Structure 1
Amino acid sequence: MPGPGGGMETSGVDISGTEISGTEITGRTAGEIAASVRALADAGELVPGTPLPPVRRLAERLGVNRNTVMAAYQRLVQAGVAETRRRAGTVIADPAAAAVEQEGFAAGSPLRDVGSGNPDPALLPDPFGVRPARGEAVLYGERTTDPGLARWAHRWLESDQPREMRLTVTAGAVDAVERLLAQALTHGDSVALEDPCFLASINTVRLAGYRPVAVPVDADGMTADGLHAALQRGVRAVVCTPRAHNPTGVSLSAARAKELRAVLSGHPHVLVIEDDHFSMLSNARYRSIIDPGHARWALVRSVSKFLGPDLRLALVASDPHTADRLATRIGPGRTWTSHLLQRLTASLLTDPSALALVDRARAHYADRNTRFAELLDARGIDIRPGDGLSLWIPVGANNAGTVSERLLRRGWLARTSDRFALDRPAAAGHLRLTVHHLGDEHAALLADDLVEAVAG
């Protein structure tokens, strides 16, 4: 209604349309409206499944444009606070349900899991097969990085990023990305993510209260136009996978990396994080989007895919300012990554038999993915094998969920593309399949079942 100055008053709007004390949505900007809904959800006054008011009704009651309410709802959906249910409108999401989608095996499933994204245990070096270098006990206040690992890591990282850098050791790549974002962003800040996107990155951004901004991925990687649009929207950080993008398997082409560096050249203080998770296993060249003059940057390389996820260790090269701030995010809690794990990692990275197994793994993953792509090609499904542990399978005009359900009846458990989507419709037609652990007979059976599932 009109206020004293002739404008519209900001009034509270009850989610059911009738006034109930303490359950009112307020605000005049998209940020204020989203924050009001988030506060009510945090306080337990809006429980999971509660429908939010229709956009038109809420806009009229708050005296704002409908686009403002739509933008607020979009922020809530991107942050995982709400979800869209088509005709049912926008409802408060269940945080527990939103957080359960993780990489790895589906626990307790009797089905043949081809959606796990896991490396082959037989191709991971035995950590008990090497003897870590002996060293003195590490006490509080001492150095946080093992000297032997640091020497190896600097040689490896500086060969790809020949500039002034600092080394930080974190508890895996997800831990690194989470802490890197935390030292640069505050609640409500925007971060550019690839779309489709790695599951852990989606969870990290949404659970921290940042706003993900989707940047499309095509056959050459993150698109330059998409990154430009994200920067125009004010993102303060960019997370990019330079090779073996999860889930699509694409790697940056030289031309695309050059385009992305040009786009970023006008934004030197936007934090750019490269998650080079496949590193030593990749058959693609590392091509960086970080220009030599970029001020805020980090290159993250985990050992999970080639030495084992349970080592929980990643190497982070970054500019000195970012490294100092990253250390402040690590110090109060975890403090440092165990030197026992660091010494074990250094021993594995310099052990000839372990490195030979890494070479075998690289060849195995590429070979099995290529063979399965050939099986599908012979059956009329054309795919590009790409790089990484999985394949990104197009299912035509079908809803990926429908194809997945048909595979379930045939005993296969797959991952659908909507799990990895930020802005794309849930019906986007792809499956992510991990097939490197299948023998020739089972691979052919899966290919036959997949063709039948696509055909309906």
Structure 2
Amino acid sequence: MNPTQPDARGADLDAQWLAAQIDEPSARGIAATVAALIRAGTITPGSRLPTVRALALRLGVSPATVSEAWSMLRRRRSVAGRGRAGTVVIGPPDVPHPRRFEEVGRHGSRLLHDLRLAVPDTALLPPLDAALAAALRTGELHEYTRVPITERLADAVRPTWPFSPADLLAVNGGFDGLMLLCQTLVVTGDKVAVEDPTAPRLLDILDAVGAEVIPVRCDERGPRPDALADAVRRKPVLFIYQPHAHSPAGHSVDATRSAELGAELRDSETLVIEDDGLANLAPGPVHTLGTALPDRVVFVRSYSKSHGPDLRLAVLGGAAPLIERARVYRTFGSGWTSRILQNCLAHLLTDPHTHELVAQAGETYRTRRRTLAEALAARGVRTGGTEGLSLWMPVEDERSALVTLAAHGVAVVPGGRCFFGPHEPFLRVATSRLHDHVDEVADLLAFAAFEEHDPGQPTITRP
């Protein structure tokens, strides 16, 4: 390797020179060499990498190999695509950052109403003392035995699972489960179909694993069948969506829509991940694809919002081969989720008093959401959906609305973080902890919703 070659420093890197630096012409070898040159300062930020075809020709490999190497570097934030300008060096390799999740903004001491995080009200969570005591009564305590899911927890979750799962696995929360599944089922460059809008952290996860996202637009009944059909034609390895109490839009997939989605997927090889973040907090049946496509579906159910975030617990249930891949991957790290916490949740799920408390909490969240929605409707702003811990509020201009609200001490989430593609301007407003000052908040939200703040402005409706 001759890293001091003058051609390596400048706006355009010479393909012949770069090829001479590469000892192992595999995707990983190419990426490792370029990363080392960037780290050493031999290739400087702003330099433009050779085209995929030019470097592939010099190395005697396929363009796909070089393209995969560039994808690896993009995942580590070392390079970025600049359209016609090519692939440009950003800087030394870095770990992926959940940029959508981290962009919470700064509001200082002026913040009066923080409506960004759709999280449970701690006053509505069930007590854990008796459940933790019951969880300690086990002969397996302190054993170094990798238990995918304890017998107690498996017995507790099966009666309420929306379909009969071939296998179950306990993980450390819903997004931990989603990350685990994406890591085991997605290879860099794979296409993944995702309902649009969706949870910002899911989009961050897909960025981290190097997936190519195919957005599937939604209406008030969930993912649109025509949009899913278009996505399936591009042969995605996964389709990820929320069948019930969608966050952030608040809709649920009904039986007819579920059958329509199943029909679009039936003749494909696309696997399905169904994400349920509210568990027992949202009433009504969950219309799942797990019944129609049992060999291709994994259902992820998180109990953080219903039973306590410090339990750090979710359960994956569905096709046995997919669950097994996730279980095996976990052996590189933690190996299993705490049996104490698993059995604690099992106690809570089978305790009648806890069941009543969770049902009451769900009704309280629905009341808070409905109260703000009705207050906004009275002020000319209509929202959609009926479930969840947040409202999806249309505005004339997202940025202007955010600035207006921040000036009045209100923080919300811009809808842009929840979309992968183009979208109408929206704000996501958390309602789970909003139990007072509702009229004051509704006044400010309505004021921010309209660009001209004209009382005669026509009502904005959710498309």
TM-score (normalised: structure 1): 0.80
Letter in 2 for 1:137: E
Q: Tell me the alpha carbon deviations over residues 407-451 of structure 1, each in whole angstroms, 9 at most, x when there is no partner.
A: 1000011100111121225xx40000012322342x211111122
Where does residue 447 of structure 1 map in the other structure?
442
Distance 1:433 1:42 in 2: 44
| 2:402 aligned partner | 404
Q: Aligned equivalents of 1:249 and 1:38: distance in 2?
A: 44
Displacement, 1:329? 1.2
Structure 1 residue 154 corresponds to structure 2 residue 158:
yes
Question: What is the match of residue 192 of structure 1?
Answer: 193
Q: Relative to 1, partners in 2 of residues 1:305 and 1:16: Cα closer, same or farther, differing over 3 Å?
A: same
Letter in 1 for 2:353: S
Q: 1:284 to 1:87 in 2, by over 3 A?
A: farther
Aligned pairs for 1:198-347 within 5 A: 198-267=199-268, 269-347=269-347
State the Cα RMSD in Å. Answer: 4.0
* Cα distance between partner residues in 2 of 1:177 and 1:17: 39
- Alpha-carbon distance between aligned partners in 1 of 2:241 and 2:12, rounded to the nearest angstrom: 43
Find the aligned partners of 1:38 and 1:233 in 2 and give their Cα distance: 30
Return closer, same or farther for 1:87/1:218 CA change in 2, 3 Å cut-off.
farther
- Compared with structure 1, are the counterparts of its residues 310 and 386 closer, same or farther at alpha carbon in structure 2 (3 Å cutoff)? same
CA apart distance, 1:149: 1.2
Aligned to 2:38: 44
Q: Is the 8 A contact 1:105 1:113 kept in 2?
A: no
Count, aligned residues: 424
CA change 1:411–1:316 in 2 (3 A) is: same
Q: 1:75 to 1:332 in 2, by over 3 A?
A: closer
Q: 2:149 aligns with which of 141, 145, 167?
A: 145
Q: CA deviation at 1:348?
A: 1.4
- Indicate how the Cα distance of structure 1 residues 222 and 377 shifts in structure 2: closer, same or farther if over 3 A, else same: same
1:135 aligns with 2:130: no
**1:365 CA displacement:** 1.0
For structure 2, the 5+ residue unaligned runs are 1-6, 20-25, 57-63, 452-463
- Asked if the contact 1:394/1:429 (under 8 Å) is kept, the reply is yes
Determine the structure 2 residue equivalent to 1:121.
122
Quick one: distance in 2 between partners of 1:78 and 1:197?
Answer: 23
3-state secondary structure, aligned to 2:236: coil
With over 3 angstroms needed to count, the CA separation of the structure-2 counterparts of 1:43 and 1:334, relative to structure 1, is: farther
Structure 1 window deviating more from structure 2 (232-241 vs 99-108): it is 99-108
Q: Is the 8 A contact 2:114 2:412 kept in 1?
A: yes
Q: Which residue of 2 aligns with 1:423?
A: 421
What CA distance in whole angstroms lies between the structure 2 residues aligned with 1:128 and 1:50? 54
1:230 aligns to what SS in structure 2? Answer: helix
Deviation for aligned residue 1:215: 1.1
Residues 32-68 of structure 1 deviation map (CA, whole Å, 9 limit, x = unaligned)? 99x9899856863799x966879xx9799899xxxx9
- Which amino acid in the other structure matches residue 438 of structure 1? L
The DSSP-based 3-state class of the residue aligned with 1:101 is helix
Q: Is the 8 A contact 1:193 1:212 kept in 2?
A: yes
Shift of 1:388: 0.7
SS at match of 1:288: coil
Return the alpha-carbon distance in structure 1 between the equivalents of residues 369 and 124 of structure 2: 16
Distance 1:279 1:78 in 2: 36
Given the superposition, is the C-alpha separation of residues 228 and 36 from structure 1 closer, same or farther in structure 2, using an over 3 Å criterion? farther
List gaps (5 residues or longer) in structure 1: 1-11, 25-31
Gap change, CA 1:366 and 1:79, over 3 Å in 2: farther
Q: Which residue of 2 aligns with 1:29?
A: none
Going from structure 1 to structure 2, the CA distance change for 1:78 and 1:125 (only over 3 Å counts) comes to: farther
Change in 2 beyond 3 A, CA 1:298/1:51: same
* Preserved contact between residue 213 and residue 230 of structure 1 (Cα < 8 Å): yes
- 1:433 paired with 2:429, answer yes
Identify which range, 105-114 or 216-225, moves more after superposition.
105-114
Structure 1 stretch displaced more, 210-219 or 298-307: 210-219
Matching residue's letter, 1:175: D
When residues 312 and 332 of structure 1 are mapped into structure 2, their CA distance, relative to the original with a 3 A threshold, is: same
